[in-house]
Amino acid sequence: MDHKFSIAPMLDWTDRHCRYFHRMLSQHAVLYTEMITTGALIYGQGDYLAFNEEEHPVVVQLGGSDPEAMAKSALMCQQRGYDAININVGCPSDRVQNGMFGACLMAQPKLVAECVQAMRSVVDIPVTVKTRIGIDDQDSYQFLVDFVGTIADAGCQDFILHARKAWLSGLSPKENREIPPLDYPRVYQLKQDFPALQIALNGGVKTLADCLTHLQHVDGVMVGREAYTNPLLLAQVDAAIYGDGRQVPTPHQVVRDMLPYIEQQMTQGARFWHIARHMLGIFQGVTGARQWRRHLSEVGHLGTSGPEVMLAALAKVPE
């Protein structure tokens, strides 16, 4: 699995409908699930691990800190066919801290290492870690080196670093994505100091030019909100980053290619809006984008809506 470009796990956003849509735009981007907690997997009633075969390569992100529960959940993920498992050590929300996972785990590298070891003892697929560059006042470079070194000694070879520290109190998750300053050189330095590890960078990456700049220093780039709000960015990824010369799909083509999927999912009980909402940004920056968004938003959430609503919205965007 080539992790040069991936789309970040985003709660309430990167569900399986969103991932299917993103796969229509890029054949090579690595896709991530929303974070799933070990509690939901082990005790929950829903099928939290469902995904479409077309999504590969796809990584499941787990939230948890009990090595036994993490191992049990990892095995479930491998049995369902995921390509890798990622541990969330980056999310700073209160809910996540109360569940004892996310960024607060940076303060407990030995516990994270135990989770990695327990998971690796039961699965063959890669176990990776997504983390920050520090938390609160524990934000020295040495702190980061010690943290990564401890986890790497447990057998983890792949790290994704959000190039900001997290404040565990006083800032909302949204503010934690914007207020602590980005420090890309720190992530670059980490790659120099751990050349054998796969190091990917996340945070504030908005353009393919940004991606190509970072890829001169690290092994991979993870894009978050920009991939969601401006999905057309993904249509350029295969050519620009992977050197794949296949024809770049047009946004009109992608929308039409989604229609059979929408019809099929609706026969299985999915609501039209649950799929269409992920597609609002497909015409970002294109003439007619506002009319497309308005029609989909106003009509799409009605219980009777279906593919005909998407076709009507599409007709408002000149080809």
- Catalytic residue positions? 91
- Amino acid at site 279: M
Token reading at 103: 């960024």
Place of tokens 């789309």: 7
Token reading at 139: 């934000």
Taking alpha carbons only, the member of 81, 158, 90, 88 closest to residue 126 is 158
For every residue of 157-211, DSSP letters joined together read -EEEEESS-B-SSSS-HHHHTTSSPP-HHHHHHHHHH-TTSEEEEESS--SHHHH
Place of tokens 């983890």: 156
CB distance 234 to 18 below 8 Å = no
